[in-house]
C-alpha cells in the first residue's frame, strides 16, 4: 500500500481500498510516460484504437458502451443534509441513506482491477483561485482524460502538503472482474437506474459508480468544478460558473475579457475560439466551459479556467463552425464514439468532409452512407489539451486570473429574445440570467415541445444547491464592490427565426459582430436605445459590412414583441413560483418593473 504525507488523504485511500478491494493501488505521478502507459493498457485490452499517426499523431479512438454515452441527469443526486437545500431543480436522497446503499455497491467493486489515485488541481497549481481534488478510480480511461483536462500528479501532492484540504472524488465503473477475467468491452453498469453520480455538498465529496463517460466519471469537471465548487463559492464569496472565457482585442489594441453562459447545444466551444469575420480584431481563448471568479484587490472580478483541456462535442465541428478546434484536434486528442475510417482516421456527421464509402461506426459495426444510422454518436467527444488551441491566450494560465468586463448569457430562442440586450444594472443582469433558457425540442421532453426550459446561467444540470439561493448569491456578489467595477451583463440570442422558420442571424464567426458591439459599449464607442426590456443597439449599431443582413432583418432581430413579452412574463412567473420563499425579492421586483414598463 502506498503512503502519503497528507494524513487525511492517506486515511481516505486506505478506507476506499478496504471497501472497494482492488488488486492493486497505484498513485498517479502525472508524467507523460504514465499517460502513455494508461493508453497502452486500454489498447492492449482491445478497448482503444491508436489512429493513423500520419493523419492524427498521438490520437486515439475509444468506443463506450451504448448505454453509457452522456451525463445521467436523472441519476445525479445532491445529497445535502436538508432536502430543501437541494432545491426544486435537483434529485435529492438523504445522505446517510445514500451512503449506505452506495457502500453496498462499492463493496468489492474494484476486485480484479487497479485502483488509481489521481491528485489533481482545478486551476494552475498554487493559484489563490485554484482548488485541489483527489479522484480515486478504477478506470485508466479516466486517468488519461484527467491528465488532459486537469493538472495531475506529484506536483499537486506537493501543493496539498501535510494538512491541505481536498475534495474527495470516488469513481468506479462498477464492474468487478473474477479471477482471470478481462474486459471484453467498455466496462460500466449498463442499467442506467443502477448508476449513481452523487454529491455530498457539506462534506465536499463526490461518489460516482456505474458510468465511465464524461462528466459522470471525470469528476473534476461538472461534479467538482460546478456542483461542489458552487457550494464552496457560495460559502466563500466567489463564483463557480458554467461559462466560457474569451479575450477580445480591438484595433486600438485594447483587450477585454468576457465570460459567457450558454446551455448545451448553443455553440459555447465554438464561440470561445471563434475567428472574427472582420479585420483588425482578435479573439483569443481562455476557457471553453467553466469559469471560477474571485474579487481581486482592485475590487474587480478575476476569472480562471479551472480546466486544462477541452471536452467538446465532435459532431457538427467543422471548418465552418470551428476552424480552430479542427486544427486543435489534429494531434494528441482522445476521440470517443466517432466513426473510424479504413485509413485509420476519424469521421463524424457535420464535419464538412464527405462521408467515406465505408467505416466502422461508434458501436463498432460496419457502416456505409446508406446505413441510415449515424456514424458518430450525437454526444461523441474530443478530449484535447487547451494549450494546443491555436488561439489560446498567452495568459490563460495566469494564476491571478483575468479581469472580466462583460458576461454574456443566452439560450436558443426562435422568438421574443433580441440579438443582444444590455442590462441596465447588476440586478437587472441577474434577472436576465435567471430567465435564460432554450425552447424544448423533440429530443428532450416530447410533450413540452416549444415551451421554454429555464436554465439560469446555464446551471440547471450543474447546481449543487437551491437555485433560488444561487440567484441570491449572484445578487449578493453585486453588493461587494462598486457598481462600476462589476462586469456588464448582456443577454444574447443567435437563434431568432423569421416567419419562414429560417435563422435570421448567420451565427458562427459572425457572432463576433455582436462581441464587437459589446466592446464598443465598454469603451464608450456605441450608443443604445433604452427599451422596457433593456438597452438595445441602434439599428446601425452592429457592423454589418460584408454580410447579407439589412435594416429589415436588423429590425426583426431587435424587435420587442409586446404580446410575446407578456406571455414570457407569465411563463417566468410560473418558473419563479418553483423557488417558493427562496425566490430573491430583487428578482420579483425586476419582474414587476418589467411588467409595469411593458403595460
Ligand atoms: O459530460 S460532460 O458533463 O462533461 C459534458 C456535458 O454534457 O456538458
Ligand atoms: Mn458544459
Ligand lying closest to the C-alpha of residue 313 = 1
Distance 195 CA to ligand 2 centre (A): 21
Hey, what's the cell of 526?
A: 456605441
C-alpha cell read off for 117: 489515485
Q: How confident is the model at residue 265 (pLDDT cuts 50, 70, 90)?
A: confident
Dump pLDDT digits (tens) for 336-350. Answer: 999 999 999 999 999
Ligand 1 near 268 CB (within 6 A): no
Who's near 446: CB < 8 A, 6+ residues apart? none
Residue with cell 444594472: 425
In this predicted structure, the answer to whether residue 443 has a pLDDT above a threshold of 80 is no
Grid cell of 514 as nine digits: 455582436
Q: Is 171 in the pocket of ligand 1 (CB under 6 A)?
A: no
d(CA 295, CA 515): 24
Q: State the distance from the centre of ligand 1 to the C-alpha of 289, rounded, in angstroms.
A: 9
Catalytic residue IDs: 266
pLDDT at 2 over 90: no
Q: Which residues have C-beta under 5 Å from ligand 2, the single-atom ion? A: 289
Helix, coil or strand: residue 208: strand
281 backbone dihedrals φ, ψ, rounded to 5° = -110, 150
- Please state the separation of Cα 155 from the chain's center in Å: 26
Beta carbon of 227 within 6 Å of any ligand 1 atom: no
| Residue 3 clears pLDDT 90, i.e. is over it | no
Compute, in angstroms, the gap from residue 73 CA to the centroid of ligand 2. 13
| Lowest mean per-residue pLDDT among 185-194, 261-270, 378-387 | 261-270
Q: Do the beta carbons of residue 274 and residue 511 sit within 8 Å? A: yes
Q: Give, using CA atoms, the residue closest to atom 3 of ligand 1.
A: 215
- Residue % of the chain over a pLDDT of 70: 99
Average pLDDT of the chain to the nearest whole number = 96
- Name the one residue in this structure whose C-alpha cell is 451512503: 99
* Cβ of 428 below 6 Å from ligand 1: no
What DSSP state is assigned to residue 337? Answer: S
- pTM, rounded to two decimals: 0.97
**Residue 371: all three cell numbers together:** 446505413
Gap between the terminal Cα atoms of the chain: 71
- 416 conformational bin, left if phi > 0, alpha if psi -120 to 50, beta if neither: left
Compute, in angstroms, the gap from residue 310 CA to the centroid of ligand 2: 10
Cell numbers given for 447: 410533450
Distance (Å) from CA 585 to ligand 1 centroid: 32
215 lines ligand 1 (CB under 6 A): yes
| Those residues with Cβ within 8 angstroms of residue 163's Cβ, 6 or more apart along the chain or in another chain | 6, 7, 8
Q: Whose CA is nearest to atom 4 of ligand 1?
A: 215
Instruction: Name the pLDDT band for 440 (thresholds 50, 70, 90).
Output: confident
Is the alpha carbon torsion for 365, 369, 374, 376 positive or negative? positive
Task: Please state the atom number of ligand 1 nearest to the C-alpha of residue 218.
Answer: 4
Give the number of the atom of ligand 1 that is nearest the alpha carbon of residue 289. 8
Residue 592 CB contacts under 8 Å (≥ 6 apart), including other chains: none
The answer on pLDDT for 486 being more than 80 is yes
Looking at residue 565, what is its pLDDT? 97
Going by pLDDT thresholds of 50, 70 and 90, the confidence category of residue 271 is: very high
DSSP assignment string, 384-434 = EEGGG-TTB-TTTT-TT-EEEEEEEEE---SSSS-SEEE-SSHHHHHHHHH
Whether the pLDDT of residue 446 is over 80: the answer is no
**pLDDT score of 1 more than 60:** yes
Q: Which region among 55-69, 270-284, 573-587 has the lowest average model confidence (pLDDT)?
A: 270-284
Atom 5, ligand 1: which residue's CA is nearest?
A: 215
Q: Give the pLDDT confidence score for residue 146 in this predicted structure.
A: 99
pLDDT tens digit sequence for 455-476: 999 999 999 999 999 999 999 9
> Does ligand 1 come within 6 angstroms of the Cβ of 242?
no
Residue 444: per-residue pLDDT: 53
Q: Quick: pLDDT tens for 354-413.
A: 999 999 999 999 999 999 999 999 999 999 999 999 999 999 999 999 999 999 999 999
Contact between residue 79 and residue 98 where contact means Cβ atoms under 8 Å apart: yes
Contact 160, 119 (CB under 8 A): yes
Residue 447 reports pLDDT greater than 80? no
Using the 8-state DSSP alphabet, how is residue 220 labeled? I
pLDDT band at 278 (very low <50, low <70, confident <90, very high): confident
pLDDT band at 442; cut points 50, 70, 90: low
- How far apart (Å, rounded) are the C-alpha atoms in residues 193 and 214? 18
d(CA 314, CA 333): 12
Query: Which residue among 311, 314, 444 has the greatest number of ligand 1 atoms within 8 angstroms of its CB, and so is best to mutate?
Result: 311
462: CA distance to ligand 1 center in Å? 10
Calculated CA dihedral for residues 94, 99, 100, 101, nearest 10 degrees: 90
| Phi, psi for residue 287 in degrees, rounded to 5 | -160, 160
Amino acid at each position: 500500500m502506498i503512503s502519503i504525507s497528507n494524513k487525511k488523504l492517506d486515511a481516505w485511500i486506505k478506507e476506499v481500498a478496504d471497501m472497494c478491494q482492488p488488486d492493486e493501488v497505484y498513485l498517479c505521478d502525472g508524467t507523460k510516460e504514465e499517460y502513455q502507459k494508461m493508453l497502452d493498457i486500454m489498447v492492449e485490452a482491445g478497448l482503444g484504437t491508436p489512429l493513423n499517426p500520419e493523419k492524427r499523431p498521438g490520437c486515439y479512438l475509444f468506443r463506450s458502451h451504448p448505454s453509457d454515452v452522456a451525463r445521467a441527469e436523472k441519476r445525479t443526486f445532491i445529497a445535502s443534509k436538508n432536502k430543501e437545500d437541494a432545491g426544486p431543480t435537483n434529485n435529492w436522497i438523504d445522505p446517510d441513506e445514500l451512503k449506505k446503499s452506495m457502500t453496498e455497491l462499492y463493496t468489492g467493486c474494484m476486485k480484479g482491477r487497479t485502483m488509481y489515485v489521481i491528485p489533481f488541481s482545478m486551476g494552475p497549481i498554487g493559484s489563490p483561485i485554484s482548488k485541489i481534488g483527489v479522484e480515486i478510480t478504477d478506470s485508466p480511461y479516466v486517468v488519461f482524460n484527467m491528465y488532459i483536462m486537469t493538472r495531475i500528479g506529484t506536483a499537486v501532492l506537493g501543493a496539498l502538503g501535510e494538512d491541505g484540504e481536498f475534495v474527495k472524488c470516488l469513481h468506479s465503473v462498477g464492474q468487478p472482474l473474477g479471477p482471470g477475467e478481462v474486459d471484453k468491452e467498455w466496462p460500466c453498469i449498463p442499467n442506467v437506474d443502477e448508476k449513481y453520480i452523487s454529491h455530498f455538498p457539506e462534506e465536499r465529496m463526490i461518489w460516482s459508480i456505474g458510468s465511465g463517460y464524461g462528466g459522470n466519471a471525470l469528476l473534476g469537471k461538472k461534479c467538482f468544478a460546478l456542483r461542489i465548487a458552487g457550494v464552496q463559492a457560495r460559502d466563500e464569496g466567489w463564483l463557480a460558473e458554467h461559462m466560457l472565457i474569451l479575450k477580445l482585442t480591438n484595433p486600438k489594441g485594447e483587450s477585454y475579457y468576457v465570460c459567457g453562459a450558454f446551455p448545451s447545444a448553443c455553440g459555447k466551444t465554438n464561440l470561445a475560439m471563434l475567428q472574427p469575420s472582420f479585420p483588425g480584431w482578435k479573439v483569443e481563448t481562455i476557457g471553453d466551459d467553466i469559469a471560477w471568479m474571485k474579487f481581486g484587490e482592485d475590487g474587480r472580478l478575476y476569472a480562471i479556467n479551472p480546466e486544462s483541456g477541452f471536452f467538446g462535442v465532435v459532431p457538427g465541428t467543422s471548418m465552418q463552425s470551428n476552424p480552430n478546434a479542427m486544427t486543435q484536434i489534429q494531434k494528441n486528442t482522445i476521440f470517443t464514439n466517432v466513426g473510424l475510417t479504413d485509413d485509420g482516421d476519424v469521421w463524424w456527421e457535420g464535419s464538412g468532409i464527405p462521408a467515406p464509402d465505408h467505416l466502422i461506426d461508434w458501436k463498432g459495426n460496419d457502416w456505409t452512407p446508406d446505413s441510415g444510422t449515424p456514424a458518430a454518436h450525437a454526444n461523441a467527444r474530443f478530449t484535447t489539451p487547451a494549450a494546443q488551441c491555436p488561439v489560446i491566450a498567452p495568459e490563460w494560465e495566469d494564476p491571478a486570473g483575468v479581469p472580466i468586463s462583460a458576461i454574456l448569457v443566452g439560450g436558443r430562442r426562435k422568438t421574443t429574445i433580441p440579438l443582444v440586450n444590455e442590462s441596465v444594472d447588476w440586478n437587472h443582469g441577474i434577472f436576465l440570467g435567471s430567465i435564460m433558457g432554450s425552447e424544448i425540442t423533440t429530443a428532450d421532453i416530447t410533450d413540452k415541445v416549444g415551451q421554454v426550459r429555464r436554465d439560469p446561467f446555464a446551471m440547471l444540470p450543474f447546481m449543487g444547491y437551491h437555485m433560488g439561493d444561487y440567484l441570491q448569491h449572484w445578487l449578493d456578489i453585486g453588493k461587494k464592490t462598486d457598481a462600476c467595477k462589476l462586469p456588464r451583463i448582456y443577454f444574447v440570442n443567435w437563434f431568432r427565426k423569421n416567419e419562414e422558420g429560417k435563422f435570421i442571424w448567420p451565427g458562427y464567426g459572425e457572432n463576433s459582430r455582436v462581441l464587437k458591439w459589446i466592446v464598443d459599449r465598454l469603451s464608450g464607442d456605441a450608443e443604445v436605445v433604452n427599451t422596457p426590456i433593456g438597452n438595445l443597439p441602434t439599428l446601425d449599431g452592429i457592423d454589418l459590412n460584408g454580410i447579407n443582413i439589412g435594416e429589415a432583418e436588423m429590425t426583426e432581430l431587435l424587435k420587442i414583441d409586446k404580446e410575446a413579452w407578456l406571455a414570457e412574463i407569465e411563463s417566468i412567473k410560473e418558473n419563479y413560483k418553483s423557488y417558493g420563499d427562496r425566490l430573491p425579492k430583487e428578482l420579483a421586483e425586476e419582474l414587476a418593473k418589467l411588467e409595469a414598463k411593458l403595460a
